[in-house]
Structures are given as structure tokens and as C-alpha cells.
Amino acid sequence: MKALELFKKIEDEIPKDLALKDDFVGYIGKSSNLSYDIERVLILMDYVPHLNDINYSDYDLLILHHPPFNHPNNFKAPELELPTYVIHSNWDIIKGGACDALADSLNIDITGILDPQTGLGRIGIIKNGPISVTEFVNNVSAALKLNQLKTVNNDNALIEKIALVSGFGLSPSYIQKAYDKNVDLYLSGDLTHAGAIMAKKIGIRLLDVSHHASEVPGLYRLGELISRMGVEVKVKDSGIPWKAYYFK
């Protein structure tokens, strides 16, 4: 399949104009000529150069969830080892994308959108709920294969109505949006000290599963979608990009 044909299929399914303002999505390449053939696609959450267990020469295209730079003007093309296509906030926002994949992995039925202005985030009901906070946390840990997570206001009450955002959602502004929706618990990643203090003050339960873990279900769903377009796809989860040390 020609690159131009594949990119058109991707943009028909995941329109670029859904992306948040100033978020880079789309093609990155040294050449504007998109007539080259694509047979094998590698999908990563983040680009980390020279990973020992990735032979980039085996692939014709790299698809990233996170842009490999903060702004196009800061991008140095020689760093990337393959022509690259970025699918970021448009995948978080679109129906059936990353947020919905996260909800499905946690057995949550979607009933609404957390931020209707952008389409980001979901509101849903736990299937077979209500359940205790402890049971829900244990279910999340098993589903996302986590051995640690962070909670705020964990009182072990019965919960049923959940807000969630894949990725970066535990900012104070989105915590406020979840509180305004009167949810029983808000789940996402990237909790800060300020966000935790705010949550304690207003009394909303938070569950931080990490930015990475909250986006893994969506990464694999993206791989399934791209594979149906007629190319061979490999999804590689490179894991959380740091190590934690535990002390007694």
C-alpha cells in the first residue's frame, strides 16, 4: 500500500481536525513524496532512539501516539529512523478511541463525555456496580497489570459513576470538571501535588493509574484498527519510562 493511501485511510477514520489546539498530529518525514510502499508498521507510545530490542529497519512506517517533540520547530528530522505518523489527542477524543478503550478494559459502560467542548474524557457506569472502592481498585490493578497506583480520598465507599481520561487527565482543571459531573471516582494519570490537594479539599476520589497505563488499551486498539487497513502491524509497549526504588 502506498503511504498516501494509508494516510488517507487513517485520516478518514481518525480525522486530524479532532486534535486539541496546538497538538501536533500527522505525517513527519524528510520528503513530501508519499508514493513509497508500506507493508509493515510499528506502533509505539513514545519514540526512544536506539532501543536495543527494536530493529527499525524491519518496518516501513512508525506510528506514534505521543509526538516526538514539543513543537515542530524544535524537531530535528535525522533523529527519527523511519517515516513517522503521529496520532495523539484525536485518538483520545474520537468515539471508539483511547478513552473508550480504557473504559472497555475496566468494564465501564459509557454514558457521556467529560469535556463536551473538546470531546475529551468519558463518564460511565461500572458494570455490575455499585462496588467498593477497594474492589474497583483491585479490578483496575488486574486489568491494567499494575503493581502500584495512587489514590486520593480512598474511603472504601460504594461507587458506580466513574469519570476517566486516558493520559494526562489529573490536572486541577479536569479534576474540577469531574467534580462538577458528580462522579463517585475520577480515574486518569499524571496526578500532581496541587491536584491531590485540590481533590482533598473538594472531596472527590481520585485514582492515578499513570499516564502510560491509562493509554495502553488504546495503543493496542489503534493497532487493531490500522491492521484492518491492509498492512502488517506490530504494537510495542516499551513500558513506563522510569524505574521506581522501594525502601523498607
pLDDT in tens, 41-55: 999 999 987 766 889
Asked if residue 75 has pLDDT above 60, the reply is no
140 neighbors 106 (Cβ within 8 angstroms): yes
What domains are there in the chain, each with its CATH number? 3-89+214-235 (3.40.1390.30), 93-212 (3.40.1390.30)
pLDDT value of residue 74? 53
Asked if residue 70 has pLDDT above 70, the reply is no
Q: What is the pLDDT of residues 18-39, one digit of tens each?
A: 999 999 999 988 778 899 999 9
Cα–Cα distances in Å, from 132 out to 139, 153, 160, 213? 11, 13, 9, 22
- Those residues whose C-beta lies under 8 Å from the C-beta of residue 208, and which sit 6 or more positions away, are 149, 150, 151, 152, 170, 188, 189, 190, 191
Measure the CA–CA gap between 119 and 176, rounded to whole angstroms. Answer: 16
Residue 215 is assigned to a ligand binding site = yes
pLDDT value of residue 52? 63
Residue 13 is assigned to a ligand binding site = no
Q: What is the pLDDT of residues 138-168, one digit of tens each?
A: 999 999 999 999 999 989 899 999 999 999 9
Rounded to the nearest 10 degrees, how much is the dihedral formed by the CA atoms of 71, 163, 221, 80? Answer: 20
Q: What is the mean pLDDT of residues 208-224?
A: 98
Measure the CA–CA gap between 185 and 196, rounded to whole angstroms. Answer: 13
Residue 92 is assigned to a ligand binding site = yes
Measure the CA–CA gap between 118 and 133, rounded to whole angstroms. Answer: 29
Question: Which of 79-83, 130-134, 153-157 ranks highest by mean pLDDT?
Answer: 130-134
Q: What is the mean pLDDT of residues 203-226?
A: 98
Q: What are phi and psi of 115, to 5 degrees?
A: -120, 85
Q: What is the 3-state secondary structure (H, E, C) of the chain?
A: CEHHHHHHHHHHHCCHHHCCCCCCCEEECCCCCCCCECCEEEEECCCCCCCCCCCHHHCCEEEECCCCCCCHHHCCHHHCCCCEEECCHHHHHCCCCHHHHHHHHCCEEEEEEEECCCCEEEEEEECCCCEEHHHHHHHHHHHHCCCCCEEECCCCCEECEEEECCCCCCCHHHHHHHHHCCCCEEEECCCCHHHHHHHHHHCCCEEECCHHHHHHHHHHHHHHHHHCCCCEEEEECCCCCCCCCCCC
Residue 66 is assigned to a ligand binding site = yes
